[in-house]
Each structure stands twice: as C-alpha cells, then as structure tokens.
Amino acid sequence: MYYVSTRNKALRYTAAQAIAQGLSREGGLFVPETIPTLPERKLEELKGMNYQQRAVYIMGLYLDGFTREELEARAALAYAVPEKFDHPDVAPLRKVDGNTYCLELWHGPTCAFKDMALQMLPHELSLALKKNDEHRTACILVATSGDTGKAALEGFKDVDQTKILVFYPKDGVSDIQKLQMATQEGGNVGVSAVVGNFDDAQTGVKTLFSDEALREELSRRGYFLSSANSINWGRVLPQIVYYISAYCDLLKQGAIQCGEEINICVPTGNFGNILAAYYAKRMGLPVKKLVCASNANNVLTDFIRTGVYDRNRPFYTTVSPSMDILISSNLERLLYLLSGEDDALTADYMAQLSATGRYEVSPAIRAQIQDLFGAGFSTEAQTEAMIGAMKREKDYLIDTHTAVAFEVLRQYRAETGDDTIAVVASTASPFKFCDAVLDALGVTEKQSGTDLLDQLAQVSGVAAPAPLATLKDKQVRFDGWTEKEAMEQVVTDFLR
Ligand SMILES: *Cc1c(COP(=O)(O)O)cnc(C)c1O
C-alpha cells in the first residue's frame, strides 16, 4: 500500500518513507492511498484477542512493508504490561451508565493519551529507517507546551538509531510537567528550558529545521533532524487501534450485538484523535456519529455547524490546555477524504487558511461533515461542574479534557434525542491536572507542587498513578536553560 500527499496525490511513498519523512515536501500530509476494510466477522475474532494482538492486526493492514514478526515484537515493547501500562487491558473500557462507556487512554507511562501513539511511533520510525537503508541517527526535536514533550521522551527513550531533544518554555509549564521532564531517564534524551513562551520555543525549533547549514553539519556527524508531532501518520495509526478495540470490548461485555452502531465522543484539539475514529469508521467499524468536543476555543464547533473555518478569533487559556488550539492540522486529512480525494481543492483550502485564516468548504463537503459529526463546546464553568457531578453521581474522577467530552455528549443527547450507546475518549489522568480538578471538587486551600498529588488522592479516595506519585523521589537530570537565540548551540552540544 502506498501513501500520498493530501496536496499532491501524484507523489507516492511507502509507509516507511511516509513515517520517516513525517510531512510531504510541499506541506501536505501523508494519507494511505486506500483504506483497508474490516470484515464484520473479523470483529468477533478480534474480540478474543488482547490489545497487543489487536494492534498488530490493525496496524499491519496499513504497514504492508513490515512483517508480522516485526510488528509483534514492537507492540510487545510499546504496550508492555506492567512495564509501560498499568492496566492489563492497556486501554480499558469503563461502564459509566446504561448507555455510556469511557475509554481510558491514560494508563501509559506519562498518564496522557499521547502515550498510545508515542509509545509506538519510535519503534515504527526505527524500523522504517532500517527499511529505507538510512544509516544516520534520527534526532527528534520537540517544542512542547507540556504533555507531548514528556510522552515523546518516554517513547523514544533508548530506542535504536534515535535521539530526542525537548525544549519547553521556562515559565510556561506546570511544576509537575517540569519535574516529569527534568527527571527523564534514558541514554539518548535531552531537555532544555527556553526563556520565553511556547511560541518562542516552537519558532526556535522551526528555525532549526529550516537551517540548511545546520542540516549539513549534523549529516556530517551522522544525524538528521526529524519530528514527532501529531501530523506524522505514524502517530495517527496507533490511535485507530483503540476505537476498534473499544468496540470489541463492548461486544465482549455483551453491551452490543455485532454490527450495532455506536457513537464516539472525543475531546479535540489538533483533530488527530477524532480523525483516527473516522478512519475506524471508514474501515467498517459500525459508528453512527462522531461527536467533536471543544472547549472555549470552539473553532471546530463553528466549522462543523457552518462549514466555515475561521481562526480569526480570540485565543483563550483554559483548564483543558491540550485543546487550546486554533489551527487543527489533521482536519486537512478529513477534507482530502471528503472532497473525493481532491488534492487541488485541499491545497486551495489550506492556502486560504494560511493567507487569511479562513476558508469555507463546498456545500457537498459541509453536508457530509454534518451527517458524520456532532459538535459542541464546554465553557469553563460547565467543565468544572461536570467534574463535580461525575464524582458525586458516578463516583468517577475525571480530568478536565475528559469532562469537556462528557459535557458535550450531554448537550448532544439533549439536543438530538440520540441515546445510542456512546464511547467517550478519556485523554488524561485527573492527576495530571490536580489544580483544576481540586477546584472543581470545591477544595479552596490547595497545596503546591507534588503535594497536590497527595491532596487529590486524599480528597478523591483514588490513588495517584505510580509514574506521578514517584516523581518526588526521582533525581533531577536536566536543569539547563537557554536563551531562544542559542538553541542551535544546545542541539550541537547534544549531538557531540
Ligand atoms: C493532545 C490532547 C488532546 C487533543 O487531541 P488531538 O488529537 O490534538 O485532537 C486532548 N486531551 C489531552 C489530554 C491531550 O493531551
């Protein structure tokens, strides 16, 4: 199976090339040329398998240049229990009430759903390099506002033929996030703070990527720069697995009959996670509606309701920071698919977005989007209220991002009367966002730093996940910082 660019489908690549390269040269995203389908009986068969086996089968459909043995070995490493994931099901499905289930995607080493993909991507990349006969080492550069950096560090830690260097804004991440990165283990990792905000760190990294002299110097030393951000197909693919896996678990629990449609509700930022659910549907998973949940940065809610994407609006900092995004990059893949794989039209929408911050899709695309998706947003007050209500009424402690999804599902059901069994994607452990969760539970006298973990555990009666609870005993390895003008020096020192 080949991969093509959303902006020029004449360019064809193998899976290994698409994963190693990340982004197509003209700026398009790689998509599989055809979408494999799941025979209905296959779901019954997958039902009897564990998560790792389901991942090998589903990812194998898209990675035909990779052998079954290769994928089995990598899935065993990426989703090892208990070394990497603290739950035997890896991505367990929890029943919330008669027609609502919660897919917990945060049982991995950094307690956020990014682990589901970032535990797998480094292995895909390292295999891809071998297949491409690439002998240089990939140096992954990441600018992070918090969650992605730590998940990428854990994923790439000690993976063959890779090194990873993460930059974070010095005063732009929480104490716990900073400590998570500063105590990172592994022989191929580096972390540096940047004086400035997230945009400074991100702009600095982009400048490094476009620096030809630096590329040549690194190549002489046996390195090339690569990226782990969410537009890499290697990150979308492992996310398709857990939606199909959740359906199998519903079958296993006797909640649905095979072939019965379900709804899926996803707290959305860059549109990667919900796009993976759409791919699962296109593969034949019986899904009725995909409900796209946003916070106050509701550019996607407006887009799905009107067909107009307009990023010219105020940016809000919310209690669900991983969804504070105005440009949802992965939407490009959806537009390509819904336009009948019209690469010229997709390129035109993206050009308008970059020139004016706005585009309007054709009536035909809008109609399909409205048929496929429900959409809504949760205000800060609604998010807080939902955390409180879930704890009181269902004895279930959820994080701020997950609360956005539960609130939007509530609105969707009230507006449409559609009470189909729904799976809500839960994207982070509540202990990653102790501060806001304690607020929502009505706690006014809050501790600080890692003491917040103990406080939330005490108030909620739920134990903090081990990777966070043990942070305070870990040794700080990285306490360096740099001015943004000197980031290149940090890279060349790191790759010495
Ligand atoms: C990244 C992230 C999201 C948003 O996912 P997208 O794939 O960008 O839509 C939601 N919740 C959490 C906790 C995240 O880390």
Which tens digit of pLDDT belongs to each residue from 427-440? 999 999 999 999 99
Calculate how far, in angstroms, residue 147's C-alpha sits from the geometric centre of ligand 1: 9
pLDDT at 11 (0 to 100): 85
pLDDT value, residue 206? 83
Flag whether pLDDT at 147 surpasses 90.
no
Nearest atom (ligand 1) to Cα of 271: 9
> How many DSSP H helices and E strands does the chain contain?
22, 16
Average pLDDT across the chain, whole number: 95
Average pLDDT over residues 406-428: 98
Return the SS3 of 425.
Answer: strand
Residue whose pair of structure tokens reads 């890692």 in the numeric block: 450
pLDDT confidence bin for 175, thresholds 50/70/90:
confident
Task: Assess whether pLDDT exceeds 80 at residue 40.
Answer: no
Distance 160 CA to ligand 1 centre (A): 27
In the chain, the N- to C-terminal Cα span, in Å, equals 38
CA of 63 to the centre of ligand 1 (A): 25
- Which ligand 1 atom sits nearest the alpha carbon of residue 147? 15
Nearest to 467 by CA among 180, 226, 208, 130: 180
Confidence of residue 72 (pLDDT cuts 50, 70, 90): very high
Q: Is there a contact between 176 and 146 (Cβ–Cβ < 8 Å)?
A: no
Rounded-to-10 torsion of CA 254, 257, 262, 267: 30
CA–centroid distance, residue 428 to ligand 1 (Å): 9
Q: Which of 211-215, 370-374, 377-381 has the lowest mean pLDDT?
A: 211-215
262 DSSP 8-state letter: E
Average pLDDT over residues 347-356: 96
Mean pLDDT of 202-226: 90
Q: Which helix (H) or strand (E) holds 370?
A: helix 363-372
What is the atom index within ligand 1 of the atom nearest the CA of 273? 7
d(CA 359, CA 354) in angstroms, rounded, equals 10
pLDDT at 189: 97
For residue 186, pLDDT beyond 80: yes
Mutate to test the pocket of ligand 1, among 323, 373, 398 (most ligand atoms within 8 A of CB): 323
Q: Which of 271, 373, 387, 401 to mutate to test the pocket of ligand 1 (most atoms within 8 A of CB)?
A: 401
Q: Which atom of ligand 1 is nearest to the CA of 325?
A: 8
Q: In terms of residues, how long is the chain? A: 496
The whole-number pLDDT of residue 194 equals: 95
pLDDT bin (cut points 50, 70, 90) of residue 25 is: confident
Position 449 confidence tier, pLDDT thresholds 50, 70, 90: confident
Ramachandran quadrant class, 160 (left: phi over 0; alpha: psi -120 to 50; beta: rest): beta
Distance (Å) from CA 322 to ligand 1 centroid: 5
Question: Which pLDDT score is estimated for 257?
Answer: 95
Look at residues 464, 445, 439, 444 and name the one whose alpha carbon lies nearest to residue 454: 464
Give, in order, the Cα–Cα distances in Å from 408 to each of 162, 298, 415, 475: 40, 12, 10, 41
Q: For residue 10, how far is its CA from the centre of ligand 1 (angstroms)? A: 31
Q: State the average pLDDT over residues 371-400.
A: 98
In the structure, which protein residues have their CB atom closer than 6 angstroms to any atom of ligand 1? 112-114, 147, 230, 267-273, 322-323, 401, 427-428
Helices (H), 110-170: 114-118, 121-131, 147-156
Task: Judge whether residue 453 has pLDDT over 80.
Answer: yes
Question: Which atom from ligand 1 is nearest to the alpha carbon of 267?
Answer: 10
Q: Cα separation of 116 and 139, whole Å?
A: 21
Q: What is the pLDDT of residue 464?
A: 97
Q: What is the DSSP letter of 464?
A: P
**Residue among 13, 31, 10 at smallest CA distance from 21:** 13
In this predicted structure, the answer to whether residue 146 has a pLDDT above a threshold of 90 is no
pLDDT at 199 over 80: no
Give the whole-number percent of the chain exceeding pLDDT 90.
85
Query: Phi/psi of residue 5, each to 5°?
Result: -90, 140
Determine the pLDDT at residue 230: 80
pLDDT above 80 (res 130): yes
Query: Is pLDDT at 182 greater than 90 in this prediction?
Result: yes
Q: What is the structure's pLDDT at 367?
A: 98
**Identity at 128, one-letter amino acid code:** A
Pocket probe for ligand 1: among 104, 121, 273, 406, the residue whose CB has the most ligand atoms within 8 Å is 273
Atom 11 of ligand 1, nearest CA residue: 427
Quote the tokens at residue 271: 């549109």
Ligand 1 centre and the CA of 123: distance in Å? 21
Return the beta strands (E) in 66-161 as ranges.
93-97, 100-104, 137-143
Residue 245 pLDDT exceeds 90? yes
Which of 249-258, 319-328, 484-493 shows the lowest per-residue confidence on average (mean pLDDT)? 319-328
Alpha carbon of 270 to those of 17, 128, 214: distances in Å? Answer: 23, 25, 29
